[in-house]
Every structure is written in C-alpha cells, then in structure tokens.
Structure 1
C-alpha cells in the first residue's frame, strides 16, 4: 500500500503556500468537522491541513461511486491516509449510474451529496468541508456562461450554505489548484503516493476537462489574474441574487406564497406585479419548492422558454376558466382555482 506522508512543518518556511495557508486560517467551521475526501490532491490537502489544525476533531468521508475500475484504489489511498494520521474514516458505496436522459455528472453529484449527508449524520457531525478550489469555480462560471445562465448560475458555487440540517463549506474557492499540489509536495507527497490522480480528469469528452485543458491555459496567458477577477464577478452576482431573493420574499408575502410549499402564489397577486417581478418571484418559488421536495439537491430550474410561456399564460389568465398546466423544470405548474401549484408527476 502506498506510503502516506505525515504532516509536518516544512523546514523552509517559504515552502508554505500563502493562499492555502490563509484559506485554512480563515476557515472557522463548527467542530467536529467532516472532510469529503476522494483521495485526490485537492481533498487530501484539505484533509491534512484540517487534521493538523484541529487534531482529534476531524473525520473523513469517502464516497465510492463504483463508476470506474480505479475507484477501489481511491478508497485504499484514503484509508491509508486516515490510518497513518488516526483520522476516523466513514466510507460509503453508492450506485451512481445515471438514468436515461439524465446527465452522468448530475447523477453522480446527487448520490454523492446524499451519501455525504448520511455519513455525517451517522457520525454526529454537522459541518462538512468540500475541496473545490479557484479553478473549479472558474470552470463553473464558464459553464454557466455557456448555458446563458442567470444570476444564480453566474454566482457559481457558494462558499457556505445549510441544507438537511448540515452546514456545508468550501473554504478553498480562492486557492488555485496548482497551489494545493505545491503544498503537498512541500510536505514530501507526490502523485501515486500521497494522493491519486483520477484518470477520468484527462478525458476531454467531459466539458469541464476541456475547459481545464484548453481554456484555463489560454486565460492564464491573456488574463493572468483571471481567477481573482472571475471570483469577484461571481461574488457580485451572488450579492445581486441575494437582493432579488429579498425582493421575492416581500412579494411572496403580498401574493400569499408559502415558501417551500407546492402551493404557489395567488394569480391575482402575481398579475399586480411587473413582469420582471413575476419572473423573479416564480424562479424563487420553483427553486424553493424543488429544494424541499428533492433531498438530493438536483436542479429543477425553469428554462427561459418555459418561464416566458408561464408568464404569457399568467398574462392571459383573465377568466376563471383559463387553464394552466405547463412543464417547468423537473415538474409541472398548474392552475388550481385562484392559485398556481407545482407538482412532480411520477415517471
């Protein structure tokens, strides 16, 4: 089994990577803390740094997706790391195969988050740290731009949020991926021993991998500070979205909407709002209701075309007999008397 380097202070202080060091020092989770660890460089660096900062207070969670032959090696690497450092490991095996018509990435993400949640709850841990970093954030933003996403997509990944009674953290969103590997190498680790490289990361059939291999080097050449500036734009989008959420919460009260409920706003109240405010309130409601009905946290966002059609139907809804039943995101929106309602019909 591959050797695992023991965390130690580098003899040369300049070996420490400032961005990573600052990120870990700034991180203030509740304890005990669980770190999601795949066995790759990013999550291994986060696990080692957290275990060093909070000895005896850190757990590791590993999710075995069963999607590739190398998965057993990932789990073995994480197990070796945890045994060497006396870190409790909670491993979960899941079936991450996607259903027909479902994105493989979305399917794997959904079961992974569900497994992380279940493992943390079983361990009595309420805080979970994930190792997505600055390069991941840039890739997320570029993917959102390619889809013509609105503010929620342009805000990219949040640094912290709560769901399912747990607090989730991404403390490394300001840290370039290369710095995490530099930090590990400074402590005597190298690929194949201190961490494993996922062979699927080189497969350019996946859009994220093409972005990483082709776009990020070009951006580095033209805009050397792109990670910081893109992160700043994502933060501005997140701030704007929070303001829109506050406006939607006010409009929800005015229209009788119960957030998170399948029962939506009163149609008359909706029609009293401008079209833009109607769209904002409907997006807010659909995000809320889907989060409440899908514990996996999948997306049921309305497409631009679906939302425009729904707004047109609301504008035309001048009589009691006007019928509304439209596919919106992962479910349907229909008229029930004087209100709108959302439901997710069985497949």
Structure 2
C-alpha cells in the first residue's frame, strides 16, 4: 500500500496539472470520475495521477477495465489491473465484451466500438459521467497520420478532441499535449516505488494492425528525418479542429431545420435533399457525431448519400438500411433514422474487497 510520502510527493507536476485543468474546464464540477484502465503504461500512469488528484480533491474515482478476450493473456491483464487499483485503494470494475466483426469495419474499429459500449455500461452501473482516457501527443500524431492516409478530409484531421461526448458520457483526454517520454519516466519511477509494472500488449507492435503498422514502420522514419514532427502534426490537428467547429455550426443550423429539437435521432429526407451535396455530407457527419458514432470513410459516406438520393422523397418505394458500426441507418416514412443494434456486452462487476460496494 502507498505511504503518506507517496500521496504527498509522487507524480509529475505537468501530468497532474493537465488532469486538474481538464476537470476544472468541465461546465459542471464532477465529484465522481473514472479512468479507462487497460493496464498499459499510459492508462496505468493516468490512473496513478488521477488517484493522487482525487485524494487531494476528495473526489470519488473508479477504474474501468475492458476485457476483449482477443489476447491469450487477457485474463492475467485483468487481474494485474485490479492489483494496481487495489494498491491505489480505488475500486476497479471489469467487463467482458464480444467484439462483433459482422459490421465489416475491421478488428480495430470493432474492438473500439465494443470498448466504448462497455465503458458506458460500467459508468451507468457506478453513476459516473466523466471518464478519463490516456491518449497523449504521440497517439494524436499517429491518429492524424492515419486519418490522412485514409483520406478522412480536412475536418477528419482534427483527430481526437480533448473532450468528447458519446452515448451520454463525457470522455476527457487531458494528456493530448503531453509527450509520451514524460509518461514513461513516471512509469519507471512508479515501478521503483510499488513494484508494479505495466502489461505489454503484443498487438501494439503487430503491424498487421493499421495503427501498429504506422507506429512501427512510419513513425521511426519520421523521427529520424523530422525530429519533433509530432508537435507540428498535433498543432495541425488543433487548427483542423477550429475549422471543424465552424463547419459544425453550419451543420447544426441545417440539421435544426430538418429535425424537431426533441428528436435528434432522425431528420427529414426531403429537406436534406434540398441542401447542396457538401452540406448534405456535413449534416450526415454531424448527425452521426451527435450520437457518438465513428465517422464513415468517404466511400461509405458517398454510398449512403447515393442511396438517400435514390429513395422516393417520402421513402415509400423501398426500405433502405445501411449498417454503420453498431447501428443501422434506415429511412422510414420520409425520415432518416438510426436503429440501435440490441447486442451488448456481458457485465462482470468486481470491486476491491477493501472498498465499500455501492
């Protein structure tokens, strides 16, 4: 168990300040927060620094671990994560999920969708609305590169936002301006204090996965030729986010004219078809983002738009349905709507025995 000296003196001032600033920036103060804890270096150090901050500010902190079952040692990772939470004296919850590959979105995207649904479920169980994610500057730079290679367009290059709404939850990424070197330094110091070491997920360096391929093949070449390139790319992401904000304002105005304010789940097909093609695309992306859904590829978006334009104005000639992640995009009686896939993860609630259960 940590000593009083640990709680008083451990932790990076810049990492702690970044977490504190993210919480302070919330419109409404939050006294119950959670950390998405995979057991890797980044999320573990976020849990450590969040625990220190929670103790100082008298906040209630939970750890959420998602067990994908995709790696053979996943069960050991789950136990290892709970060991860390036990050492930090905070409750930890785990959820076993089934990664649904039927949508044809690829393993990485399917696992990400399952992970966010699991985090939402655990948050509901524990009455938490704000979840901390450990993405850092290097992750952000990789994401921009991936978006660029996938042809995501200028707004897609905004990459990950510091604050994100998804299915009623608020996700905070306080370390997007933090270089991973600082996190690794803290992990080394924490091992000296606690004897706890992060897990090593082999998929992070397996270049059959797209992000790992960028990390293992492209990033080393960029590091050698353009040292510090991540900082420039992350600045580009911030500028793209500003462009996105302006376009979102336009899309919000257009969408408001297509949907009653109490029913953002659907919009009028006839009104949508009166917009220019560029604004039609903006409305569709805005609508999907409004519901916390991932952005479609350009090819998928164009296909959805083509099908919508091919429908009868009132949507009576045939029933349209396009699978997008865990939802279906449908058109019924002249309104384009989302139909949620009822398949969900299995909840395995576990807490440290030294913490009173709710």
For normalisation by structure 2, the TM-score amounts to 0.77
The answer to whether the Cα contact below 8 Å between 1:256 and 1:266 also exists between their aligned partners in 2 is no
The alpha-carbon distance between structure 1 residues 224 and 127, as it changes in their structure 2 partners (threshold 3 A), is same
Output aligned runs, 1:248-263, within 5 Å: 248-255=251-258, 260-263=264-267
Partner of 1:277: 279
Instruction: Please state whether the residue corresponding to 1:90 is helix, strand or coil.
Output: strand
Does residue 26 (structure 1) correspond to residue 21 (structure 2)? The answer is yes
Q: Which has the higher contact order (CA 8 A, sep 6+)?
A: 2
Between the aligned partners of 2:318 and 2:100, the Cα distance in structure 1 is 35
The corresponding residue for 1:226 is 229
1:9–1:187 contact (8 Å) kept in structure 2? no
For normalisation by structure 1, the TM-score amounts to 0.79
Q: 1:78 to 1:167 in 2, by over 3 A?
A: same
Q: CA deviation at 1:247?
A: 1.0
2:241 equivalent to 1:244: no
Q: How far, CA to CA, are the matches of 1:5 and 1:278 in structure 2?
A: 55
1:193 Cα deviation from its structure 2 partner: 3.5
How many Å apart are 1:287 and its aligned residue?
Answer: 4.5
- 1:108 correspondence with 2:111: yes
2:27 paired residue number: none
| Residues 306 and 329 of structure 1: CA distance in aligned 2, closer, same or farther (over 3 Å) | farther
Shift of 1:286: 4.9
Q: Residues 10 and 185 of structure 1: is their aligned pair in 2 closer, same or farther, counting only changes over 3 Å?
A: farther
Change over 3 Å in CA distance of 1:36–1:335 after alignment to 2: closer
SS at match of 2:174: coil
Structure 1 residues 278 and 110, CA, compared in 2 at 3 Å: closer, same or farther?
closer
By how many angstroms is 1:51 displaced?
Answer: 0.6
**How far apart, CA to CA, are the structure 2 residues paired with 1:104 and 1:322?**
36
Give 2:160's aligned residue: 157
Decide whether aligned partners of structure 1 residues 8 and 61 sit closer, same or farther in structure 2, where only a CA change above 3 A counts.
farther
Structure 2 segments unaligned to the other structure (5+ residues): 25-29, 343-358
1:264 corresponding residue in structure 2: 268
Following superposition, the deviation at residue 311 of structure 1 comes to 8.3
Match of 1:83 in 2: 86
Q: Assess, with a 3 A threshold, how the Cα gap between structure 1 residues 202 and 326 changes in structure 2: closer, same or farther.
A: same
Residue 48 of structure 1: aligned partner: 48
1:136 corresponds to which residue?
139
Give the corresponding residue for 1:122.
Answer: 125
* Contact 1:45/1:184 (<8 A) preserved: yes
SS class of match (1:194) = coil
Distance 1:321 1:208 in 2: 40
Q: Secondary structure at the match of 2:252?
A: helix
Partner of 2:174: 171
* 2:23 alignment partner, SS class: coil
Number of the residue aligned with 2:73: 70
Asked if structure 2 preserves the Cα contact closer than 8 Å seen for 1:334 and 1:342, the reply is: yes
* Structure 1 position 148, deviation (Å): 0.6
Cα distance in 2 between the residues matched to 1:203 and 1:192? 27
Query: How many residues are treated as equivalent by the alignment?
Result: 329
Matched-pair contact (CA < 8 Å) for 1:94–1:111: yes
